[in-house]
Amino acid sequence: MLRSLLFLLISTGTAIAGQDPANGPADDAAAPDVVVERLETALIENMKAGDEMTFEARFETLRPLLAEIMAVDRMGRYVFGRDWASFEQSQRETFKEVFLDLSAATYAAQFKAFGGESFEPVAVQEQGEDRVVVKRRLTTGSGRQIAFDYLMTRDDSRWQIVTIITDGVSDLAIKRTQYRRILESEDFDAVIAHIRESIESQRND
């Protein structure tokens, strides 16, 4: 009797957490907006460091963080659609690695100098049990506002970022169109080569 009552309590608790992922009783470190804040904090710190940090240094601080907070396996599925499942395990791993490299390189290249930027929370929108949109706003030093919407998913009770939508434009959509075109006209290796080229161009930016 006591066991089943306990079970009921636990399952109800999980259900509440599921319904309200942003403010649930789950570990705060795992809450979606907290995950987003970790990324934003890292970016701001990198910018504030300015010339004290090299591209490589910024890259190295971001790369392990992104590996932790980006749902890169999901991104592979969303970028390649039904082809994703047909790739070899090693190909999928390669993609995940270089894609994380590209993400880190992109952030390292774009967020390198501080001009008074700040991120503020706007809203956290729940969209089903394992999906949430964390809406943030980047205000630049000149006062220009850019909407950052983090589309997040929960895998194994961890909230991870699937894509970032900047003023309505989805990074995932852009990548998907680019990579699938290469995949159609060439092959998987060409996609990886293309990503590596992009990383290089970010490094030299």
Partner 1 sequence: MTAVADGEGRSSATERWLTGITRHPVPVLAACIAFTLLAGLAAVNLLGVNSDPIAMLDEDLPFRQTDERLRAEFPDLENNLLAVVEAPTPEQATLAARQVQRELAALPDVVNSVSWPAGSEFFERNGLLFLSLEELEALGERLTAAQPLLGRLARQTDAAALFDLLAQIAERSPGGDSMPPAFDLDRLHDRVAGGIDAGLAGTPQLLSWQRLLGDDGSADDGAREILLINPVLDHDRVLAAREVMARMHEMRERLGLDQGPVRLRFTGSAALSYEEMRSVIEGAGLTGLLALVAVTIVMLAGLRSVPLSLIALVNLALGLVITAGFAAVAIGRVNLISVSFVVLYIGLGVNYAVHYLLRYREIIQLEPAGPTAAIRSTITAGRFLLYPLTLSAVTTALGFFAFVPTAFSGIAELGLIAGVAMMVTLLLSYTALPAMLALLRPRVTGSPPALDRGWRRHLELPLRHRWAVLGLGIVLIAAALPALPELRFDSDPLNVRDPQSESVVTIRELLAGGQAGYRNIQALMDDAAETESMRQRLDDLPTVARAVSLRSFIPDDQDEKLFLLEDLGWVLGPDVVGADWETDPVSADSLAAAARTLIDALGQSDAQAGNPASGSLSESLARLLRALDGPNADQAAVAVNRTLTAGMQPTLGRLSKGLQAAEPIGVDDLPGWLVQQWRGQDGALLLQVFPAVDVLDFDRQAEFTEQVLSVAGDRATGGPIIQLEAGRAITGAFKQALVWAVIGISMVLLATLRQPLAAAKVMAPLALGGLLTIAAMVLIDLPFNFANVVALPLLLGVAVDNGIHLVTRHRAGLLPDGNVLKTATARAIVVGAMITAGGFGNLAFSPHSGTASLGIILAMGLALMVVATLAFLPAMLGRGD
Is residue 29 close enough to count as binding partner 1 by CB under 8 A? Answer: no
Q: Pick from 28, 113, 181, 190: which binds partner 1 (CB under 8 A)?
A: 181
Listing DSSP states for 122-156 in one string gives EEEEE-STTEEEEEEEEE-TT--EEEEEEEEEEET
Of the pair 49, 137, the CB lying nearest partner 1 is at 137
Read off the DSSP letter of residue 160.
Answer: E
Query: What is the smallest separation between the CB atom of 94 and partner 1, expressed in angstroms?
Result: 21
Token representation of residue 5 = 């009552």
Is residue 178 close enough to count as binding partner 1 by CB under 8 A? Answer: yes
Residue type, 154: R
Query: What is the smallest separation between the CB atom of 172 and partner 1, expressed in angstroms?
Result: 5
Interface residues for partner 1 in 84-123 (CB under 8 A)?
Answer: none
Dist CA 148 CA 110 (whole Å): 15
From residue 177, how far is each of 103, 181, 195 by CA, in Å? 17, 6, 13
Dist CA 164 CA 35 (whole Å): 13
Is residue 63 close enough to count as binding partner 1 by CB under 8 A? Answer: no
Dist CA 153 CA 75 (whole Å): 11
Query: What is the smallest separation between the CB atom of 50 and partner 1, expressed in angstroms?
Result: 22
Dist CA 98 CA 106 (whole Å): 12
Q: Pick from 93, 177, 190, 200: which binds partner 1 (CB under 8 A)?
A: 177
Instruction: Pick the piece of the chain touching partner 1 (CB under 8 A) from 35-43, 58-66, 168-176, 186-194.
Output: 168-176
**Do 106 and 202 contact (CB within 8 A), yes or no?**
yes
Is residue 48 close enough to count as binding partner 1 by CB under 8 A? Answer: no
Query: What is the smallest separation between the CB atom of 88 and partner 1, expressed in angstroms?
Result: 21
Of the pair 14, 170, the CB lying nearest partner 1 is at 170
Is residue 82 close enough to count as binding partner 1 by CB under 8 A? Answer: yes
Is residue 77 close enough to count as binding partner 1 by CB under 8 A? Answer: yes
Size of interface with partner 1, in residues (CB under 8 A): 28
